[in-house]
Chains A and B, each alone.
Chain A
Amino acid sequence: MPLVLPLLLAVLLFCLGVYGVLARRNAITMLMSFELMLNAVNLNLVAFDAWRLDGLATGQTLAVFVITLAAAEIGLGLAIVLLLFRGHGHVDADAARDLVEQDGGIPAADGAGTAAGRTAVEKGAAS
């Protein structure tokens, strides 16, 4: 089997992942695209392992590690997405622009931050 076959497959998967990350609005689809990119890397690892046959199973072991890492990553990523959803009411990465540079330099907080602030103010007024 020619080595370029798995490698080209990995390249295509990786670039599809890049496209997905750059183009999709939904934060969860962005995470899915990350998974595609990680898989492309795994494919590379396994292909080179099969090509080199170093006896240590380096590529395969690393691929397993990467899968573990991907699990950790998706766990954290989804937690962040949930936080985003809780704060803004949507998971649109294109619309989450709290960090935009504004005149006066103070980003206008909406969603959870403001809600929390408002409750705090109300609390202060009540007490």
Chain B
Amino acid sequence: MIATTWRVVGVGFSLLVILAAILLSGVEPQQTSFPGTGVGPDVFWTFDLRTDDLTVLLLAVVGVVSACVQVYSIGYLHERAASYTALVTLFTAAMVTVVVADSLFLLLIGWEVMGVCSYLLIGHYWERRDARSGAMKAFLMTRFADVGFLFGIFVLGIGYNTFRISELGSGPISPGALTAGTVLLLVGVVGKSAQVPLQTWLPDAMPGPSPVSALIHAATMVAAGVFLIARLYDVFVEAEATLTVLAVVACVTMLVSALCAMAAVEVKRVLAWSTVSQLAIMFAGLSLGTEDGRHAALFHLVTHASFKALLFLCAGVLLHQVGSAAFVVLRRYTRRGALRRAMPVTFVTMTIGLGALAGVPGLAGFFSKDSVVEAAWHHARDGSTIGWVVLVSVCLTAALTAFYCVRLWLWTFFRTPALAGALGAFEDDDPMADVDEPDTSKLREPSWLMLGPLVLLAIGAAGLGYADGVHVHWGVALVTTVLAVFGALPAYSLWQRGADPRPVVLEHEFGLDAAYQGAVVVPVRWFAKLAVLGDRDVIGGYVRATGRAGTLASQGFRLLQTGNVQTYLTAAVIGVVALAVLAGVIAS
């Protein structure tokens, strides 16, 4: 009953957000201010709201994705549904707060609420150890980054003497403060959007429910980082150094995470790494510092939201119907050709999603990625090193993306011609593979509650590319398509030979987790042990010593209680005499 109520509230809220986006589209940008509090003698912050094109765009994305996720969740999730739905609604509301905020502090509130919601939702299946640790990891890493974010707000707010976003970028500020503030903000963005070097929490957040992953990866959490830079673009454009840092971070991230995605053996993990990579492409577009770049990045944000939400919901269907999204389990169905036959809708929609991700011409991802490449090309032609670096990185990433998309698609849905692939290139990590032959006859499509959002998002993934007005730069399109084909061909040939070589470096995801374990986790544990020791043996020692001293003293005093009246009297008389002597001595 409570769950039903919350579901109605959740879906209704998402529809309300969409309605707000529709009503606000085309309205003149405006700000609304509510009374706030003073910070310091002459700096005030207020609960300001604003509406402009960016707000409307993000509201539409958030509304549509969260509506899809909410409807999908009705069919997907049955345990603890009330708290789950409430948290997803809160998550959406927090993202809406971030989107409409015109005050840095209001934005921070939404930002932090999102952090808490992601923690709670990733840990939804808290019975599972990996879910708990993944939630904790996400929380700690984003919280670590948020410290930088908070101080960035302080530096920028004090520097510009205002905390209103619409007034930032206009006042006088020293270049040092500007660079420091934006870099600190960038730390928060890097943590929230899982960029290098704080990227490891996002793949580990995969034990959470799939709809939540869709929401986090498409519309809310990680998109908030991109949104923030787009919102404060005027400020960031002023800070050259920050943009350079952003470009380097984005380029490294997109390549590293695409490489990691190539070696992942679980559908959701592949998708998680691809999210990191695609976000890096958006950041790369933003780091160009041009209006074209910002436009391209936001375009890619929208298309990515549709196809990534679609892909995660598809992965959720696999998890829901098959019970696992690991390649090794899926292969057991696929090698009888069961998966494609039993779930045609899922297959088609996922194909569209992967195609959009890989940049198949005509689908959404193709247009948005090409617009980033084009913006980079224009910038590079103007003689910018950053432009060249971004251009090369995005093109390389396009090839790598095609590789892992094709790999995922083929290995998940198709029988290999080669015998080795039939028996499985992935079964070395599942000793039970031969024992447990799955019953493929019971495999079927899920209910239309779950398929409906898939179809809707698939339409978006296919058609959103044309929403921006079709303008194709034929040279760029040719280059990226050729690169994508070059990326796809090795994947195809490997699949045909039934081989899936995974380099150890990529399987361990460049050893960053182990490095963090050694550099941060172990020392922190040592400090914790030290603190416990200090608390128990030093401070506790004093506490216990107080008690023991009291006990000992009272044991001594017990001896004085002889029960003999005359002893007491003697003591009293001695006391009187002593006091009299003392009084005499003092008086004389």
Chain A residues proximal to chain B, CB less than 8 Å: 18, 21-23, 30, 93-94, 96-101, 107
Chain B, 145-193, CB within 8 A of any chain A CB:
none
Q: Is B558 an interface residue (CB 8 A)?
A: yes
- Please pick, from A18, A96, A97, the residue contacting B573 in the complex, using a CB distance under 8 A: A18
Q: What separation, in Å, do the CA atoms of A98 and B564 have in the docked complex? A: 9
Q: What separation, in Å, do the CA atoms of A100 and B567 have in the docked complex? A: 12
Q: Is B441 an interface residue (CB 8 A)?
A: no
Contact A100 B563 (CB under 8 A): yes
Contact A101 B564 (CB under 8 A): no
Q: What separation, in Å, do the CA atoms of A100 and B560 have in the docked complex? A: 9
Please indicate the chain A residues that have their CB under 8 angstroms from the CB of B570 in the complex: 22
Contact B566 A22 (CB under 8 A): yes
- Please pick, from A93, A101, A107, the residue contacting B565 in the complex, using a CB distance under 8 A: A93
Q: What separation, in Å, do the CA atoms of A99 and B564 have in the docked complex? A: 8
- Please pick, from A21, A97, A98, the residue contacting B569 in the complex, using a CB distance under 8 A: A21
- Please pick, from A21, A96, A101, the residue contacting B558 in the complex, using a CB distance under 8 A: A101
- Please pick, from B558, B559, B562, the residue contacting A97 in the complex, using a CB distance under 8 A: B562
Please indicate the chain A residues that have their CB under 8 angstroms from the CB of B558 in the complex: 101
Consensus secondary structure, chain A interface: loop
A105 (CB) vs chain B CBs: closest residue: B558
- Please pick, from A21, A30, A98, the residue contacting B563 in the complex, using a CB distance under 8 A: A98
Please indicate the chain A residues that have their CB under 8 angstroms from the CB of B564 in the complex: 93-94, 96-97, 100
Binary CB contact string for chain B from 335 to 374 against chain A (1 if under 8 A, 0 otherwise): 0000000000000000000000000000000000000000
Q: Is B30 an interface residue (CB 8 A)?
A: no
Q: Is B37 an interface residue (CB 8 A)?
A: no
Binary CB contact string for chain B from 549 to 584 against chain A (1 if under 8 A, 0 otherwise): 000000000110111111001100100000000000
> Interface residue count for B (Cβ, 8 Å)?
11
Contact B569 A22 (CB under 8 A): yes
Contact B566 A94 (CB under 8 A): yes
B558 (CB) vs chain A CBs: closest residue: A101
Contact B566 A97 (CB under 8 A): no
Please indicate the chain A residues that have their CB under 8 angstroms from the CB of B565 in the complex: 93, 96
Could you write out 18 A-B pairs with CB less than 8 Å apart? A18-B573, A21-B566, A22-B569, A22-B570, A93-B565, A93-B566, A94-B566, A96-B564, A97-B562, A97-B563, A97-B564, A99-B563, A100-B561, A100-B564, A101-B558, A101-B559, A101-B563, A107-B563
Instruction: In the A-B complex, list the 5 residue pairs whose CB atoms are closest, starting with the nearest.
Output: A100-B563, A97-B563, A101-B561, A99-B563, A101-B558
B573 (CB) vs chain A CBs: closest residue: A18
Binary CB contact string for chain B from 422 to 435 against chain A (1 if under 8 A, 0 otherwise): 00000000000000
Contact A99 B569 (CB under 8 A): no
Chain B residues proximal to chain A, CB less than 8 Å: 558-559, 561-566, 569-570, 573
Expressed in whole angstroms, the minimum distance between the Cβ of B246 and any Cβ of chain A is 75
Q: What separation, in Å, do the CA atoms of A107 and B558 have in the docked complex? A: 13
Expressed in whole angstroms, the minimum distance between the Cβ of A10 and any Cβ of chain B is 16
B577 (CB) vs chain A CBs: closest residue: A18
Expressed in whole angstroms, the minimum distance between the Cβ of B323 and any Cβ of chain A is 66
Expressed in whole angstroms, the minimum distance between the Cβ of B173 and any Cβ of chain A is 75
A24 (CB) vs chain B CBs: closest residue: B566
Expressed in whole angstroms, the minimum distance between the Cβ of B229 and any Cβ of chain A is 73
Please indicate the chain B residues that have their CB under 8 angstroms from the CB of A22 in the complex: 566, 569-570, 573
Q: What separation, in Å, do the CA atoms of A35 and B386 have in the docked complex? A: 111
Q: What separation, in Å, do the CA atoms of A100 and B570 have in the docked complex? A: 16
Q: What separation, in Å, do the CA atoms of A99 and B558 have in the docked complex? A: 12
Expressed in whole angstroms, the minimum distance between the Cβ of A93 and any Cβ of chain B is 6
Expressed in whole angstroms, the minimum distance between the Cβ of B210 and any Cβ of chain A is 66
Expressed in whole angstroms, the minimum distance between the Cβ of B551 and any Cβ of chain A is 14
Please indicate the chain B residues that have their CB under 8 angstroms from the CB of A99 in the complex: 561, 563
Q: What separation, in Å, do the CA atoms of A96 and B566 have in the docked complex? A: 10
Q: What separation, in Å, do the CA atoms of A30 and B566 have in the docked complex? A: 10
Q: A22-B570, A96-B563, A97-B564 known; 18 other A-B pairs, CB under 8 Å?
A: A22-B566, A22-B569, A22-B573, A23-B566, A93-B564, A93-B565, A93-B566, A94-B566, A96-B564, A97-B563, A99-B561, A99-B563, A100-B561, A100-B562, A100-B563, A100-B564, A101-B558, A101-B563
Q: What separation, in Å, do the CA atoms of A81 and B573 have in the docked complex? A: 23
Q: What separation, in Å, do the CA atoms of A97 and B564 have in the docked complex? A: 5
Q: What separation, in Å, do the CA atoms of A108 and B561 have in the docked complex? A: 15
Q: What separation, in Å, do the CA atoms of A107 and B562 have in the docked complex? A: 12
Q: What separation, in Å, do the CA atoms of A107 and B561 have in the docked complex? A: 12
Please indicate the chain A residues that have their CB under 8 angstroms from the CB of B561 in the complex: 99-101
B555 (CB) vs chain A CBs: closest residue: A101
Please indicate the chain A residues that have their CB under 8 angstroms from the CB of B563 in the complex: 96-101, 107
Expressed in whole angstroms, the minimum distance between the Cβ of B574 and any Cβ of chain A is 10
Q: What separation, in Å, do the CA atoms of A25 and B563 have in the docked complex? A: 14
Expressed in whole angstroms, the minimum distance between the Cβ of B527 and any Cβ of chain A is 46
Q: What separation, in Å, do the CA atoms of A98 and B563 have in the docked complex? A: 6
Q: What separation, in Å, do the CA atoms of A23 and B570 have in the docked complex? A: 9
Of the listed residues A96, A98, A99, the one surrounded by the most CB atoms of chain B closer than 10 A to its CB is A99
Q: What separation, in Å, do the CA atoms of A96 and B561 have in the docked complex? A: 13
Expressed in whole angstroms, the minimum distance between the Cβ of B401 and any Cβ of chain A is 81
B562 (CB) vs chain A CBs: closest residue: A100
Q: What separation, in Å, do the CA atoms of A81 and B563 have in the docked complex? A: 16
Q: What separation, in Å, do the CA atoms of A101 and B561 have in the docked complex? A: 6
Expressed in whole angstroms, the minimum distance between the Cβ of A23 and any Cβ of chain B is 8
Please indicate the chain B residues that have their CB under 8 angstroms from the CB of A93 in the complex: 564-566
Expressed in whole angstroms, the minimum distance between the Cβ of A110 and any Cβ of chain B is 12
Please indicate the chain B residues that have their CB under 8 angstroms from the CB of A100 in the complex: 561-564
Q: What separation, in Å, do the CA atoms of A21 and B573 have in the docked complex? A: 11
Q: What separation, in Å, do the CA atoms of A96 and B563 have in the docked complex? A: 7
Please indicate the chain B residues that have their CB under 8 angstroms from the CB of A23 in the complex: 566
Please indicate the chain A residues that have their CB under 8 angstroms from the CB of B559 in the complex: 101
Please indicate the chain B residues that have their CB under 8 angstroms from the CB of A97 in the complex: 562-564
Please indicate the chain B residues that have their CB under 8 angstroms from the CB of A94 in the complex: 564, 566
Q: What separation, in Å, do the CA atoms of A112 and B16 have in the docked complex? A: 88
A98 (CB) vs chain B CBs: closest residue: B563
Please indicate the chain A residues that have their CB under 8 angstroms from the CB of B569 in the complex: 21-22
